[in-house]
Structure 1
Amino acid sequence: MTMSTHYEPSEPTRAEMEAMDGPAVLEFGTPWCGHCQAAQPHLEAALDTHPEVPHIKIEDGKGKPLGRSFKVKLWPTLVFLRDGQEINRLVRPINDRTIREALASITA
């Protein structure tokens, strides 16, 4: 799967995330967040090396249950899952190297 370019306004449930098989990356943020916008080229470069990994962009905000269940405090927050379990997390990544390393932790 290629990188998602828009945030999903309706979010999946935590149970749906925990039921996923294989690796996945959840990206919590908003379209208007400057930190989220700045991270996009790095995220795209890293995800291009792992096209098999689903990338799910979740529009987060106050009272959004999925973000709260993952204890998201800052945007963007990337949660790296394998078989529905959190393996790694990056908050406000500033380069593609750290994203690639986190991807390696769920694809190895």
Structure 2
Amino acid sequence: MAMNHTYANIEPARETIDALPDATVIEFGAPWCPHCLRAQPLLSDAFDAHPGLRHIKIEDGPRRRLGRSFRIKLWPTLVFMKDGVEVSRLVRPDSASDIAHAMSAIDG
């Protein structure tokens, strides 16, 4: 697996996310969001060091159940999960090292 560059328009059910084994990074945002666009190179750098992580990129917005179930308020929000349990999150990350550090906590 590697970094996903496309936001999913159809979100998975929360039960599906909670049942995922191993390490997963869920990115909530939107393709037009300037904060999300600014974070993409940082994510790419961090994923270079963690190519085996699952990355689910979800287009969030009003009436989107998955984002509401995670109480997402700002974009991008990265949720780092291990075996279906949230370990940490970053809101509007501004460094690849912060992202990589959070990835290290769930990767291996």
Fold shared, TM-score > 0.5 on shorter chain: yes
CA distance in 1, matches of 2:5, 2:64: 20
Q: Can you list the C-alpha shifts for 1:69-108, whole angstroms capped at 9, x where unaligned? A: 0000000000000000000100000110100110011114
Tell me if 1:10 matches 2:10. yes
SS of alignment partner, residue 31 of structure 1: coil
Match of 1:89 in 2: 89
Give the superposed CA RMSD: 0.6
- The residue type equivalent to 1:90 in the other structure is L
TM-score, normalised with respect to structure 1? 0.98
SS of alignment partner, residue 36 of structure 2: helix
Match of 2:34 in 1: 34
TM-score, normalised with respect to structure 2? 0.98
Report how many residues are paired.
108
Match of 2:107 in 1: 107
Match of 1:43 in 2: 43
CA distance in 2, matches of 1:71, 1:96: 24
Tell me if 1:64 matches 2:64. yes
CA distance in 2, matches of 1:27, 1:37: 12
CA distance in 1, matches of 2:26, 2:15: 14
Residue 48 of structure 1: how far off its partner (Å): 1.1
CA distance in 2, matches of 1:106, 1:71: 21
Match of 2:74 in 1: 74
- The residue type equivalent to 1:59 in the other structure is E
- The residue type equivalent to 2:18 in the other structure is E
